[in-house]
Amino acid sequence: MASKLVAFRLPDDVVQAIESESRSTGKDKTAVVVQALRHFFELPSALESTRVDGLQRQMNELQQKVEKLSEQLNQTTLSQLK
């Protein structure tokens, strides 16, 4: 699906809600806004964006796992040095 870069000014509370939803769902902020706008305008969900959302979620989960493993490795290394 083709997309176009647009810029909007949003109130702080809206930006905070977008960021909060992004963190809690693992979706990027663009996906959160697109999903909300599609819902508001009663547009069908695009299959492509569903696939991208799934891949984004998987990537975020993998990134969190890598960070956790990295922390565990650092802790193990530090405890071995003591």
Which structural domain range is residue 60 located in? 12-81
Half-sphere exposure of 59 (CA within 13 A, CB side): 8
Query: How far is it, in rounded angstroms, from Cα 35 to Cα 79?
Result: 45
Interval 28-69: pLDDT, tens:
999 999 999 999 998 877 666 677 778 899 999 999 999 999
Q: What is the predicted pLDDT for the residue at 35?
A: 92
Residue 53 lies in a domain: yes
User: What residues have CB less than 8 Å from 61, skipping those under 6 apart?
Assistant: 26
Q: What is the predicted pLDDT for the residue at 1?
A: 60
Q: Which two tokens stand for residue 62?
A: 């993998």
Residue 65 lies in a domain: yes
Query: How far is it, in rounded angstroms, from Cα 76 to Cα 66?
Result: 15
> Which pTM does this prediction carry?
0.54
Residue 7 lies in a domain: no
Rounded mean pLDDT, 11-34: 96
Rounded mean pLDDT, 11-20: 98
